[in-house]
Structure formats: C-alpha cells, structure tokens
Amino acid sequence: MSNQHKRITIIGAGTIGTALGNILAESGQDDILLHSIEQQVVEDINRSHINSKYFPTLKLHPNLFATTDDKMLESSKIIFLAIPSVVMIDYLKKLQIHLRPDTILINLAKGFGVGNRTILEGLKEQFPNPLCTMKGPSFAREILNRSPTGFTLGYQDPDHILIVRTLFRNTNIHLDFSDDIRGVEILSILKNIYAVVMGIVDAQFNSPNLRFLILTKAFQEMRKVLLSFGGRSDTLFNYCGIGDFTLTSLNDLSRNRTLGLLIGKGFFTEHVSHELVLEGKTAANVFYQEISKTMVVEDHFPIIAELYRIFQSNYDISLFVNKILEFPGSCPARDLDCLTKHD
C-alpha cells in the first residue's frame, strides 16, 4: 500500500459519521475526512469546526475536515459508509470510478438496501472491495461526548481485525468481533422491529414484570429469525445483538421505540407514518413477507405477525399484548424442524 493510500474517509457527515470522524481525529489520526453532498455542512466544519445541521452546539476537532470532492476518495485505505441504507448502493455506484478496489468498505448503515437485501449483499454484488460491517449500541451524541461505546466488527478477512482495532486504539470505541457478517447485518435490522414492540408495551403498561417478560419473548423470537435467515445464535451475544437490541428497545432516544410509544398511546396516524423514518415498520413488513414464503408466520413468529397486522389494517391496539401472551414460549432454536411450514 502506497504512502498516498492512507486516508480514512467517512462517506456521510450526518450524526454517526460526524461522531466517528471526530473521535478518530481526536485520537491522533492525521488524515480523517468527512465526505458529504451538503455544501453548507462541509463549509461549516472546515471554517468553524461545527456541524451546524446535526450538532450545532458541539465544537469538533480541528483535525477533522470535510469535502464534497469525490476525487478525495481515491487516496482512502478505509471508507466508512454512513449514509442511509436505501440509497447506499446507488450512491456508491456513482462514486465507483474513485474507489480503489483494495480500499476496505465498512458499513455503518442499519437497514435493508435495494430489493430487501442486506447492505453487504448489495455491496458484494456490485464492488470488488473487501467488506466489513460495524454495528452496536451507539447513539451518536454519546460517542461525541466520549462515552465508552461498543461496536461489533463483522468481518470476512481476519486481517481486518487488527487494522480496525488499531484504528480505534486510544478512543472511547470498544470492539468485539464476529465472522458471522450476515448475522451482524440481520440483527441491526431486527432490533428495530422489537424496539417498536417494547414501545407499545411501555405505552400501555407501567409494569417491570411485563416489560421484561415481553423483552425475553422478543429476544427468543429474534434468535429464531436470525437462525432462519442464515445467522448464528452466538452473534446475539455481541454488541450488535443484545446490546443494540436493548439500547433501541428501552431508551427513549430511539426512533423506533418512540414509534411504538405513539402506537401504544393511539397517536399513530398516516401523517405520522409519512413524517417519521420508520425502520421498524419497513423491517416488520419485509421479514413477514419473506418468512411467509416458507412457513406460517403466525405459528412461529407471533410478535412479527402481530406488528405486521398493526401496519396493515385498523387494529385494536389494546389487544396487542394479550395476543402475544397467548402464544407459548419459544421452541428450542436448535430444533430447526420447528421452523418448517405447516401443511
């Protein structure tokens, strides 16, 4: 690798991109760059060291720079992808002429890409680059405030463990690792579904007993879905699993938990649906439709099935919790016969 091929670039100067870029700049990395299409954001960062759109009150490190120049990508050894999942592949295809084939692409986006595939599936199909993913319980403002924060690095090449670990040395970012890269991606989508569910429960009941009963049933169902979509159950115990799930489900800063609170209080309307970014709604619909191709969703994934019904028709939300409780506990996830479709 040439000396010119050393830059760390983050595509996307939103909340998570800015937060990680600032932490890397603070750690002594001398060539950290935010790439953005937002000219005003770029000018503010370079001139005033403030991202006025996303963090107007927080001063950024003077070693963090931003650009709209696509050619700057050509000298990057690592590119973090911090743009919305639904536009990721199409946007990168426009930049492909500037991407070196040996540059490591690390996906930070959580959600489905084009055609209801994971981001990594789309990247693998379109680009020759080595791929990783980083997911975990990580509110961007907490990162900027230097709170210790965990991410799981999903990798294909074990050599990338040392590269990324070295990158975050002397920062507040703590890593664990998994070669179940598909599982890491799937869990980052699934947790949004169950965060909506926990919001509904907490909007209707102020009961710790019930909250953690449903939390346990949700975690069991996540495990079954993960297995049926080709992930490994041990990945649940990484930061990307139980950590991200509980952060998103139990913290009111979570958009998807907030959606659940609105639904549970009866405030969810078509207007709200259009105004909010509803990752949990999209994920519930996609997983329901995919699962229904091979099995009866209601028999094996009752929580997803009930949430799907909420988004599809008029639904008496007061019945939601009782509907979930009608189903027995999860069958053993190792018994894959329980995941076969009924005749």
The CATH number assigned to the domain holding 196 equals: 1.10.1040.10
More confident residue, 85 or 336: 85
The answer, yes or no, to whether residue 185 has pLDDT greater than 90, is yes
Domain with residue 35: its CATH number is 3.40.50.720
Contact (Cβ atoms closer than 8 angstroms) between residue 120 and residue 148: no
Range of lowest pLDDT (69-73, 125-129, 337-341):
337-341
Structure confidence at residue 343 (pLDDT)? 34
Task: Please tell me whether residue 58 adopts helix, strand or coil conformation.
Answer: coil
- State mean pLDDT over 265-281: 67
Is residue 71 domain-shared with residue 218, that is, in the same domain? no
43 with 123, same domain: the answer is yes
Is 99's pLDDT higher than 90? yes
Torsion of CA 278, 281, 287, 291, to 10 degrees: -170
144 lies in the same domain as 27: yes
Does 2 fall in a domain?
no
Contact 248, 219 (CB under 8 A): no
In this prediction, residues 69-81 reach a mean pLDDT of 95
Q: Among the three residues 155, 179, 203, which one is the final residue of a domain in this structure?
A: 179
At 269, is the pLDDT very low, low, confident or very high (cuts 50, 70, 90)? low
pLDDT exceeds 60 at position 118: yes
The letter for the amino acid at 17 is G
Q: Which of 312, 311, 297 is nearest to 256 (CA)?
A: 311
Residue 4 banded pLDDT, cuts 50, 70, 90: low
Q: Let me know whether 97 and 239 are in one domain.
A: no
The CB density around residue 215, as the number of other CB atoms within 10 Å, is 18
Confidence of residue 279 (pLDDT cuts 50, 70, 90): confident
pLDDT-derived band at 296 (thresholds 50, 70, 90) equals very high
Question: Same structural domain for residues 158 and 222?
Answer: no
Give domain status of residue 242, yes or no: yes
pLDDT 10s digits, 152-181:
999 999 999 999 999 999 999 999 999 999
- 1 in a domain, yes or no? no
Q: What is the pLDDT of residue 292?
A: 94
Which residue range is the domain that position 253 belongs to? 187-339
Number of domains making up the chain: 2
- pLDDT digit string, tens, across residues 133-149: 999 999 999 999 999 99
Q: Based on the domain organization, do 170 and 37 belong to the same domain?
A: yes
Mean pLDDT (the chain) is 90
Beta strands 64-67 and 32-35, pairing class: parallel
Each residue's pLDDT tens digit, 188-197: 999 999 999 9
Three-state DSSP state, 105: strand
* Nearest C-alpha neighbor of 91 from the set 64, 78, 73, 116: 73
Q: Give yes or no for residue 328 having a pLDDT over 80.
A: no
User: Using one digit for the tens of pLDDT, what is the confidence trace for 223-235?
Assistant: 999 999 999 999 9
Q: Are residues 165 and 226 in the same domain?
A: no
Alpha helices in 28-98 (DSSP H): 39-48, 88-95
